[in-house]
Amino acid sequence: MAIEVRIPTILRTYTGGAKTVEGSGDTLAALLSDLDSRHAGLRGRLITEQGGLHRFVNIYVNDEDVRFLGSLDAKLNDGDNVTILPAVAGGAFGFAAAAALLGRNTAR
Amino acid sequence: MLSIDRSIIDAIIAHARRDHPDEACGVVAGPVGSDTPVRHIPMDNAARSMTFYEFDSMEQLRVWREMDDRDEEPLVIYHSHTATEAYPSRTDTDLAGVPEAHYMLVSTREPDTEEIRSYRIVDGVVTEEPVQIVDPTVDPHAVQSYMFGQSPTTVDYECSPGR
């Protein structure tokens, strides 16, 4: 069972520069674990230590944001396309919680 | 250095003024590998905030797919600061996820003056770069003398001192 996954530039260090990789799994969580077995560290950039999806990463199954499909429990089928995009966000000040939510300091 | 057409800068400033006091945000796409931004795409600020901006995730998917289909990439990612200087905040730096983009900031804190600056943000490190605004509508023969660092058709904005 193959699912094509599109990888954004910032995460291609984990895929040897590849723009797309293939993986398998019947849920998003299973797919990310499968990918991490070949691309170690990738999963840690997408999932927080608490086990949820990072607030500032967007993952789509076909044309839908996985947040509307049950997040990590989103069901996957053979032939699905998964796209990962870094959220584009920021702002003048105040949103210190954003950085904390991201957990970038520990992920890097 | 970011080299960009005057008409695109004008459109970005107009967008930022229109959405003021909320932050405005968007993208300028260009052909892959060209480093020439040509297509201005104003985006919704899903946060609708004076201190935060965030692309709507579904709009972002649509726009990113469209760029892919046209062999384009997001060369400039811009947003406005509406009460502070055009310098990346800690939040901007922490959340910058497109290392290949020019991150442009526009400040709309002064109603009459434009403040535009551009940065690379890679692994949390901010590096300012000069911005060259190209104006093809100016007749290069109309001006007889001009300041060092400028020509009739371009204006170079150097990085601000003290950073």
Domain boundaries, chain B: 2-133
Domain count along chain A:
1
Q: What is the CATH number assigned to the segment(s) B2-133?
A: 3.40.140.10
Contact assignment for A88 to B58 by CB distance below 8 Å? no
Q: How far is A24 from chain B (nearest CA, A)?
A: 22
pLDDT grade, residue B154 (50/70/90)?
Answer: confident
* Per-residue pLDDT tens digits for B102-130: 999 999 999 999 899 999 999 999 999 99
* Per-residue pLDDT tens digits for B32-72: 999 999 999 999 999 999 999 999 999 999 999 999 999 99
Q: Which chain A residue lies closest to B52 (C-alpha atoms)? A: A91
Q: Does B76 or B144 have the greater pLDDT score?
A: B76
* Per-residue pLDDT tens digits for A6-50: 999 899 999 999 999 999 999 999 999 999 999 999 999 999 989
DSSP helix/strand/coil, B13: helix
Q: Tell which of A11, A88, A93, A95 to mutate to test the B interface (max B CBs under 10 Å).
A: A88
